[in-house]
Chains A and B, each alone.
Chain A
Amino acid sequence: MSTTKEDLFETTCGLEIHVELATASKMFCGCKVDFGGEPNTRTCPVCLGLPGSLPVANEKAVEYTMKIGLALNCKIAEYSLFHRKNYFYPDMPKDYQISQYDLPLCYAGHVDIAGDWGTTTVGITRVHLEEDTGKSIHVGGSGRIHDSAYSLEDFNRAGTPLVEIVSEPDIHSVAEARAFVSELRILLDSLGVSDVRMEEGSLRVDANISVRRRGETEYGTKVEVKNMNSVRSVGRALEYEELRQREAIEAGEQLVQETRHFDERTGTTSSGRTKEGSSDYRYFPEPDLVPFEPSAEWVDRVQSTLGETPTDRRARFATEYGLGAKDIEVLTATSATADWFETAAKAYGGDAKKVANWIMADLYGLLNEASIELTESKIAPDQLAGLVKLVDGKSISGKQAKSVLAEMFSSGKDADAVAKEKGLEQISDTGALEGIVDEVISEHAEAAAKVRAGNLGTIGFLVGQVMKKTRGQANPGLVNDLLRRKLT
């Protein structure tokens, strides 16, 4: 047996995830939280950092943060503070960020992630609340600030509540890192606290990753990888970085402790300029805000709103609907998807696995082609249930149902309406079919005799003749049944 890299090296990784909260208003002012829009239209003296303006904390954001913390099994601090993190950057209105430092709102939690390797428990160091910056567009040069001709600043995003989730370095493979981000995404979505639109930057991932030879007691040199904006890019960036570090160790090179940026186009990480000085953020307690001490009643109230966790829902999908792992993974990817499936399953009323199969095997194909989400499709859950019922009732064949689904997908019409329109509705009326079956038996007496003699293989020929006479409209199952009844 050959030795793999996994046998030779050990990876240690901790993740920091920033999540924009979907509160109605910003963290410290009344401006609306939204995406896009004309630059600098959702701003006010507070989120522009005008002289004399003061922050007032958004209670909903505090509550959402507690919700995330509780869902991640964290403790909620009895006494928590905002700190100022001081550094200059043009898109930061006050040139300090109101954040949390040594007294985060939530701490000491954990979350389980499962995959091919089994189940891993990843510790959650802290979950804290801060404000987002504005957005810079650097014009000219490489698109980075240092060689641009000028920069444009949009402060619409400035002050959006941002939650930072920091994991313990309990992640030891790229697969685990991907699973962790994906699990958090599902969790945040199920809590309804964030849009988790990674491509729009509402969830951003940084990683601290180091590699060492297996058996060594000292950790390897820690590298911070920034700018990962999807589960996929987390996978690509960390695979690249893991390999780079392993090769450097094998080549006997000294790794540098640094921050590296992931480039989505090349799939590589590159060394950023070493941080402006060493990063001394001169944290100190924010004097414009008062400390907050969430009451036990408040924490209980938030706890009671958590509802079913994604883990529990997945377990229930297995026991209640008898679904397999792959189906569960896809059907619980977002709570909207899971809700959609459950609505369809309930409307159907029979074996939910059939509904799952239609979604997984056929509907997803159409969705992927149109690149839309399940919840964006024109087909409503009860319409899919209607289609499965039509097939069950043998009104249409499984093959016909696929073309009915395609039509439903483009028109949004009900299954039976589409089937009628297409003239696909099968002749399932026993009375109507009986005459035709009798006709065929008398026209093909020889074949009929063979069947009577026990040669059941010939029954297919007779079915074919009935289908021919009905131009394919007869329900083949029913024809088969009738022939057997009459001839055997």
Chain B
Amino acid sequence: MTDLHWRSATELAGLLANGEVSAVEIAQALIERADEVDGQLHAYLHRTDERLLEDARASDERRASGQTRSRFDGVPTAHKDLFVTKGVPTTSGSRILEGWLPTYDGTLVKRSAQAGLPLQGKLNMDEFAMGSSTENSGYGPSRNPWNTKSVPGGSSGGSSALVAAGGTPWSWGTDTGGSVRQPASLCGLVGVKPTYGLVSRFGVVAFASSLDQPGPLTRTVTDAAAFLQIAGGHDPMDSTSIPQAVPDYLGSISGGIEGMRIGIVTEIEEAEGTQPGVKTRVGEAYRRLEKLGAELVEVSLPSFEFGISAYYLVAPAECSSNLARYDAVRYGLRVEGPDVVSMTSRTRDEGFGDEVKRRIMLGTYALSAGYYDAYYGKAQRVRTLTIRDLERVFTDVDLIATPTSPSTAFELGAKTADPLSMYLNDVFTVPVNLAGNAAISVPCGTSPDDELPVGLQLIAKALDETTMFRAAYAFEQDLGWAGSEEGRPSL
């Protein structure tokens, strides 16, 4: 079967069910695809081809004996490299974890395996998920399949590059300030930031614990909903996990959006710095939603302008503490020194990249005695305001629509010298992490400026992924871009 690699997970599941293709054939097709494109993309940090074929063979055997683990048994996946995977290198994009072979599987890795998903490998990312381009990876950047001079977004950029290039139907990333939605937007994919606590963080190498949330990157809305269904739901190993099961998103996904009220945020529409081409496509998307029967409502989020500032205090503060454990005592890189203090500081000096060091310093400062109230304390108050703002808006609307990112994919190196302009990539996505709500990025075509993909963000109430998927699906189906020739990079 040709073009197997361009099939969605749902399509592959159908082909497997009908016996038109075997799991091993799918695995082989994806290995070939990786051989073909990864030299240009550098999406992978670690390929597990052998295990992939082994898993696929086991899946075929299960299917032959009528013992499939799920509908998707035999549909492969590759994880962002911060999902702790037993016996498979897990670096979180950092040199400091080079050589660490985990002794346990995280919940998400476990649940993917329990669903029968063969493992393709581990994907590139900005070091410890800090970045919007993968240029902060300790192992070199990934590239955007739509234009290999450009970044695939980040931090889950290895995932977005591979899914967009047909290297895998789906991949798990994590979203701390936009790290799933922004790369999805820049690569023309669907990316979901589920409600905080919906997907377990057990076995996710931590960046900022109160913001981190795993989310799927896929080529279709249906696949995203299905993937969330596989891995979401309560996990007793994560105290912040919401104690309830994941609802059946697929059952209501085609319900349409007739009568839905969708908020358009004045402060976001008036924000400076959004590319004209992005504005054009997102504006068209709003009108498409209207055409599909939704009512557009103008809403105000006064806390919006403080989001980035609050985020860049909370996230570094938490990361400064989360990353303390990389002290060369128990695992990962060790640079010897005359005493334990110099061993630890030399290791951290060599093992961490500049952006990670910058954030550790920022966070250490923000938590210091005498500064705590002025920085971390105030950021937490902004967070409370953001939550209240969104709660207030959601008493009136079902969803909020915004651009996902103010720009399309930028060229490698374009923003590395200016961290602040890099941080502004997350301006529309960060408030959602601060508040803990659910959000999705869906493609709305390519920008007239540079022919690169543009994403529409739909923000939902906490735990209202059902409404979010319904609207995203209606939009995707009406646009007809996903899955079409036009919706694929020419790589």
- Cα separation A55 to B206 with both chains bound (whole Å): 13
The listed residue (A50, A55, A86) touching B321 by CB distance below 8 A is: A86
Q: Which 3 A-B pairs have the closest CB atoms?
A: A95-B324, A282-B367, A287-B209
The answer to whether B327 and A57 touch across the interface, beta carbons within 8 angstroms, is no
The answer to whether B206 and A51 touch across the interface, beta carbons within 8 angstroms, is yes
The answer to whether B102 and A50 touch across the interface, beta carbons within 8 angstroms, is yes
Cβ–Cβ < 8 Å partners of B320 in chain A: 86, 282
The answer to whether the Cβ of B187 comes within 8 Å of any Cβ in the partner chain is no
Shortest CB distance B115–A (Å): 20
The answer to whether A284 and B237 touch across the interface, beta carbons within 8 angstroms, is no
24 contacts between A and B (CB under 8 A): A48-B330, A49-B330, A50-B103, A51-B100, A51-B205, A52-B84, A52-B102, A52-B206, A53-B203, A54-B238, A54-B239, A55-B239, A86-B320, A88-B327, A90-B329, A94-B324, A96-B321, A151-B340, A282-B372, A287-B210, A287-B240, A288-B209, A289-B239, A290-B240
The answer to whether B368 and A280 touch across the interface, beta carbons within 8 angstroms, is yes
The answer to whether A56 and B237 touch across the interface, beta carbons within 8 angstroms, is yes
Cβ–Cβ < 8 Å partners of B218 in chain A: none
Known contacts A86-B324, A90-B340, A153-B329, A287 near B318 by CB under 8 Å: yes
The answer to whether B367 and A86 touch across the interface, beta carbons within 8 angstroms, is yes
Cβ–Cβ < 8 Å partners of B210 in chain A: 287
Minimum CB distance partner of A286 in chain B: B209
Cβ–Cβ < 8 Å partners of A86 in chain B: 320-321, 324, 367
The answer to whether the Cβ of A178 comes within 8 Å of any Cβ in the partner chain is no
- Cα separation A88 to B239 with both chains bound (whole Å): 25
Minimum CB distance partner of B327 in chain A: A95
Chain A contact residues, CB within 8 Å of chain B: 45, 48-57, 84, 86, 88, 90, 93-96, 145-146, 151, 153, 280, 282-284, 287-290
Bitwise, B305-338 to A at CB < 8 A (1) or not (0) is: 0000000000001101100110101110000000
9 extra A-B contacts, CB within 8 A, seeds A52-B102, A90-B327: A45-B103, A50-B331, A51-B100, A86-B320, A96-B324, A283-B372, A284-B372, A287-B318, A288-B209
The answer to whether A93 and B367 touch across the interface, beta carbons within 8 angstroms, is no
Known contacts A284-B372, A288-B239, A88 near B344 by CB under 8 Å: yes
- Cα separation A153 to B340 with both chains bound (whole Å): 12
- Cα separation A409 to B202 with both chains bound (whole Å): 56
The answer to whether the Cβ of B204 comes within 8 Å of any Cβ in the partner chain is yes
Bitwise, B276-293 to A at CB < 8 A (1) or not (0) is: 000000000000000000
- Cα separation A221 to B102 with both chains bound (whole Å): 50
- Cα separation A53 to B325 with both chains bound (whole Å): 12
Chain B at the A interface: mostly helix, strand, loop or mixed? loop
Cβ–Cβ < 8 Å partners of B374 in chain A: none
Among A86, A90, A93, A283, residue most surrounded by chain B Cβ atoms (within 10 Å): A90
The answer to whether B239 and A284 touch across the interface, beta carbons within 8 angstroms, is no
The answer to whether B321 and A284 touch across the interface, beta carbons within 8 angstroms, is yes
Cβ–Cβ < 8 Å partners of A55 in chain B: 239
Minimum CB distance partner of A46 in chain B: B237
The answer to whether the Cβ of B364 comes within 8 Å of any Cβ in the partner chain is yes
Cβ–Cβ < 8 Å partners of A153 in chain B: 329-330
Known contacts A88-B344, A284-B367, A288-B209, A51 near B237 by CB under 8 Å: no
Known contacts A284-B367, A287-B209, A290-B239, A52 near B327 by CB under 8 Å: no
- Cα separation A447 to B285 with both chains bound (whole Å): 132
Cβ–Cβ < 8 Å partners of B203 in chain A: 52-53
Bitwise, B77-88 to A at CB < 8 A (1) or not (0) is: 000001110000
- Cα separation A360 to B450 with both chains bound (whole Å): 95
- Cα separation A51 to B129 with both chains bound (whole Å): 14
- Cα separation A98 to B329 with both chains bound (whole Å): 19
Minimum CB distance partner of A279 in chain B: B369
The answer to whether the Cβ of B164 comes within 8 Å of any Cβ in the partner chain is no
The answer to whether B237 and A54 touch across the interface, beta carbons within 8 angstroms, is yes
The listed residue (A45, A49, A284) touching B104 by CB distance below 8 A is: A45
- Cα separation A56 to B237 with both chains bound (whole Å): 7
The answer to whether A49 and B325 touch across the interface, beta carbons within 8 angstroms, is yes
The answer to whether B240 and A52 touch across the interface, beta carbons within 8 angstroms, is no
- Cα separation A287 to B327 with both chains bound (whole Å): 21
Minimum CB distance partner of B365 in chain A: A282
Shortest CB distance A441–B (Å): 89
- Cα separation A52 to B106 with both chains bound (whole Å): 7
Shortest CB distance A146–B (Å): 7
Cβ–Cβ < 8 Å partners of B104 in chain A: 45, 50
Shortest CB distance A154–B (Å): 12
- Cα separation A288 to B208 with both chains bound (whole Å): 10
The answer to whether the Cβ of B339 comes within 8 Å of any Cβ in the partner chain is yes
- Cα separation A288 to B320 with both chains bound (whole Å): 15
The listed residue (A94, A282, A283, A289) touching B325 by CB distance below 8 A is: A94
Shortest CB distance A455–B (Å): 90
The answer to whether B90 and A51 touch across the interface, beta carbons within 8 angstroms, is yes
The answer to whether the Cβ of B201 comes within 8 Å of any Cβ in the partner chain is yes
The answer to whether B368 and A282 touch across the interface, beta carbons within 8 angstroms, is yes
Minimum CB distance partner of A284 in chain B: B367
Cβ–Cβ < 8 Å partners of A52 in chain B: 82-84, 90, 102, 106, 201-206
Shortest CB distance A488–B (Å): 87
Known contacts A93-B325, A287-B210, A145 near B369 by CB under 8 Å: no
Known contacts A50-B104, A54-B201, A146 near B339 by CB under 8 Å: yes
- Cα separation A56 to B376 with both chains bound (whole Å): 25
Cβ–Cβ < 8 Å partners of B205 in chain A: 51-52
Minimum CB distance partner of B203 in chain A: A52
- Cα separation A49 to B327 with both chains bound (whole Å): 11
Minimum CB distance partner of A56 in chain B: B239
The answer to whether B103 and A288 touch across the interface, beta carbons within 8 angstroms, is no
The answer to whether A51 and B239 touch across the interface, beta carbons within 8 angstroms, is no
Cβ–Cβ < 8 Å partners of A88 in chain B: 324, 327, 341, 344
